[in-house]
Structure 1
Amino acid sequence: MKLPIVAYGDPVLKKIGTDIDENYPNLEKLISDMFDTMYFANGVGLAAPQIGLPIRLFIVDTGEDDEGSPGYKRVFINAKIVEETGELWSFNEGCLSIPDIRENIMRKPKIKVNYFDENWIEHTDDVDGMPARVIQHEYDHIEGKLFTDKVSVLRKTMLKSRLDAISKGNVSTDYKMKFPNKSKKR
């Protein structure tokens, strides 16, 4: 089932997610619905806060690489990035909760991440390149951070009217969204 994606301005996007356990209700269905939602919106990652749930869960699927090999696909439960290394590199990022805005964001290219998968098997993985970037972006969501928090104060000031418009629903997407400041028609 495709779920609505929460838009910029919703307080859930600024909350630090809480850990969950294997008894979290309907977790398997939630994960399946998150993948359906992400694929429908043409995303490469989706965090639970983006569908209104302040929990430490996100998914990643970078898709096939240029040679047609399978991409990096994982479920991350209660993730913790324990190390980030390498020289900062810039990449133009976007976010399903902030449609129509893309910004160059600096991140380190290598990470070590500890997490549980959907079968509650614990992993500690070394990840680099694009999968590491996507993980860092989604990890920021469960930490209550957005990619726009990483731009300069000047740039954020320049984006303010566009961000306000998104929160009010003045944006067009091919996927369903929930807007925190959309005025109700009377």
Structure 2
Amino acid sequence: MKLNIVEYPDKRLRQKSKVIKKFDKNLHELLDSMYPIMMNTNGIGLAAVQVAHPIAALILNIPEEDGEQLEENLLEIINPVITSQDGETIYQEGCLSVPSFYEDIKRFENITINYQDRDANTKTLEANGLLSIAIQHEVDHLNGVLFIDKLSYSRRKKFEKEYKRMLKEKKTSKKDLIVKKGA
């Protein structure tokens, strides 16, 4: 299954993901295809909506202390529901759908979620630290929310200006590359 990451400002990122009812081969193929794209883009989390599949599925792979991401640490979370949250933390987040932009975001320090795995088994997970932050970030995606939506009004305006400039520069460099190849 060929997947591409949907990037801001694509409206598909604003879709609310549908609850998964069929835990079948198609779901397994999607989850299996999401893992390499997340790893190849240096991500630690990826929601299905970010690869144009607006269903309530996400994957996470939190790095070890040495920075290595081991495949056995992969979490596949289907139909997550946050059941409790407390504490507060601020973490500099980035997003595969908003490349090259990082910002401090306030999140809950501790959360508990109920979810299902790829075989529809019900599970509960208590998370804190980076895992808690990553789950909240990806669950936001399932609800059509991006981390930039959590910025203050003035910071969001600054982001929009910076991001438009970056996209313009990206287009210009692509045109230059096409011209050079064609010459």
- State the partner residue of 1:164: 164
- Given that 1:44 and 1:60 are in contact with CA atoms closer than 8 Å, whether structure 2 keeps it comes out as yes
For normalisation by structure 2, the TM-score amounts to: 0.84
Residues 170-181 of structure 1 mapped to structure 2, 5 A cutoff: 170=170
* RMSD of Structure 2 on Structure 1 (CA): 2.3
Q: Which has the larger radius of gyration?
A: 2
Per the TM alignment, residue 74 of structure 1 is displaced from its structure 2 partner at its CA by: 0.8
Q: Which has the higher helix share?
A: 2
Q: Does the residue aligned with 1:21 lie in a helix, a strand or coil?
A: coil
Question: 5+ unaligned residues in a row in structure 2: which ranges?
Answer: 172-183
| Alignment-mate amino acid for residue 156 of structure 1 | R
Cα distance between partner residues in 1 of 2:55 and 2:107: 23
The letter of the residue matching 2:108 is: K
Q: How does 1:79-94 map to 2 (within 5 A)?
A: 79-86=80-87, 88-94=88-94
How far apart in 2 are the matches of 1:169 and 1:47?
28
User: One-letter code of the match for 1:93?
Assistant: E
What residue number does 2:109 align with? 109
CA distance in 1, matches of 2:2, 2:43: 13
Match of 2:53 in 1: 53
CA offset at residue 63 of structure 1? 2.4
Three-state SS of the structure 2 residue aligned to 1:78 is strand
Measured at CA, do residues 23 and 68 of structure 1 come closer, stay the same or move farther in structure 2, by a change above 3 Å?
closer
- Distance (whole Å) between structure 2 residues aligned to residue 43 and residue 69 of structure 1: 10
Q: TM-score, normalised by structure 1?
A: 0.83
Most deviating of 1-10 and 74-83:
1-10
SS in 2 for 1:59: strand
Instruction: Name the SS for the 1:101 alignment partner.
Output: strand
Shift in CA distance, 166/45, structure 1 to aligned 2, threshold 3 Å: farther
Aligned AA (1:125): L
Letter in 2 for 1:13: L
Query: Using CA pairs below 8 Å that are at least 6 residues apart, which structure has the higher relative contact order?
Result: 1
Measure the CA separation in 2 of the matches of 1:132 and 1:19: 21
SS of 2:38's equivalent?
A: helix
Cα drift, residue 68 of structure 1: 7.2
Counterpart residue number, 1:174: none
Alpha-carbon shift at residue 170 of structure 1 (Å): 3.0
CA change 1:62–1:109 in 2 (3 A) is: same
Matched residue, 1:11: 11
SS at match of 1:34: helix
Question: How much does 1:56 deviate?
Answer: 0.6
